[in-house]
Structure 1
Amino acid sequence: MSTNLSKAGRPASLSVRQAAWVLGVPTSTVHRAIRVGTLRATRRRSRLVVHPADLARLLGGAR
């Protein structure tokens, strides 16, 4: 059995509050970015979550 552990320790998704902390902005700014389409988010159990790769894209990191 082969497993890819390159992403071990990374969260699968971040809450809006966590994304705001990473970006250093208020949660309202993250909600606005999601609403206007600058930041993609999905619903998980009725909560908005942000994928870490989308945050990295927004910050100009990994593509």
Structure 2
Amino acid sequence: MKNNIVLLEIAEVVAQIVPCKTRNRNFKSACIAVSGDNEECDHDCRRVGGWYGGSCKNQKCVCDC
């Protein structure tokens, strides 16, 4: 039982360290940060996906979950 508690605590620490990112599949065009797409991506992630926000990564709109 004690091992299960330790493993659960480790999993919680890892979850806090590793940020959750998910690709916004509704954002159809290439996401180019310098062209102002960061703001559009962020807005789309918040409005459509209900995520915390978003930004352009490797020409894809990536949302923070």
> Which bin holds the TM-score, normalised by the shorter protein?
0.3 to 0.5
Higher strand proportion (structure 1 or 2): 2
Q: Structure 2 length normalisation: TM-score?
A: 0.34
TM-score scaled by length of structure 1: 0.35
